[in-house]
Amino acid sequence: MARAAAAAEWSGRAAAAARWSGRAALAAVGALAGLLAACVSPAAEAGGDGVARASFAQPSTRYNHEALGPGNEWAALGLDGTEFPAGDALVFEDVAPRLADLDGDGDLEVIVVESSLTQGSRLAVWGGKGRIAATPFIGTRHRWLAPVGAADLDGDGRVEIAYVETPHLGKILKIVRLDGDRLAPVAEARGLTNHRYGDPFIQGGIARCGGVPTILAANADWTRVVAIALSGGALISRDLSAYRDPGSFANLPGCD
Ligand SMILES: [Ca+2]
Ligand SMILES: [Ca+2]
Ligand nearest to the CA of 7: 1
How high does pLDDT run on average in the chain? 86
Instruction: Report how far ligand 2's centroid is from the alpha carbon of 242 (Å).
Output: 29
Residues with CB under 5 A from ligand 1 (ion): 101, 103, 105, 107
Residues 10-14: contacts with CB under 8 Å, at least 24 apart = 10/36, 10/39, 10/40, 10/96, 10/98, 10/99, 10/100, 10/149, 11/43, 11/53, 11/54, 11/99, 12/54, 12/55, 12/95, 12/96, 12/97, 12/98, 12/99, 13/96
Residue 173 has pLDDT above 90, yes or no: yes
Lowest mean pLDDT among 5-19, 154-168, 186-200: 5-19
- Tell me which residue of 170, 211, 208 sits closest to 189, measured CA to CA: 170
Ligand nearest to the CA of 152: 2
pTM of the full structure: 0.84
Instruction: Report how far ligand 2's centroid is from the alpha carbon of 156 (Å).
Output: 4
Instruction: Report how far ligand 2's centroid is from the alpha carbon of 54 (Å).
Output: 24
Helices within the chain (DSSP H only): 3-7, 13-19, 23-36
**Local confidence band at 25 (pLDDT 50, 70, 90 cut-offs):** very low
Residue 189 has pLDDT above 50, yes or no: yes
Instruction: Compute the distance between CA of residue 145 and CA of residue 52 in angstroms, rounded to an integer.
Output: 25
Q: Which amino acid is at 146?
A: A
Lowest mean pLDDT among 19-28, 165-174, 185-194, 216-225: 19-28
**Local confidence band at 11 (pLDDT 50, 70, 90 cut-offs):** very low
Instruction: Report how far ligand 1's centroid is from the alpha carbon of 96 (Å).
Output: 19
Ligand nearest to the CA of 155: 2
Instruction: Report how far ligand 1's centroid is from the alpha carbon of 118 (Å).
Output: 31
**Local confidence band at 48 (pLDDT 50, 70, 90 cut-offs):** low
Instruction: Report how far ligand 2's centroid is from the alpha carbon of 151 (Å).
Output: 7
Ligand nearest to the CA of 186: 2
State residue 234's pLDDT score: 97
Rounded mean pLDDT, 110-118: 98
Residue 33 has pLDDT above 50, yes or no: no
**Local confidence band at 41 (pLDDT 50, 70, 90 cut-offs):** very low
Residue 241 has pLDDT above 50, yes or no: yes
Ligand nearest to the CA of 47: 1
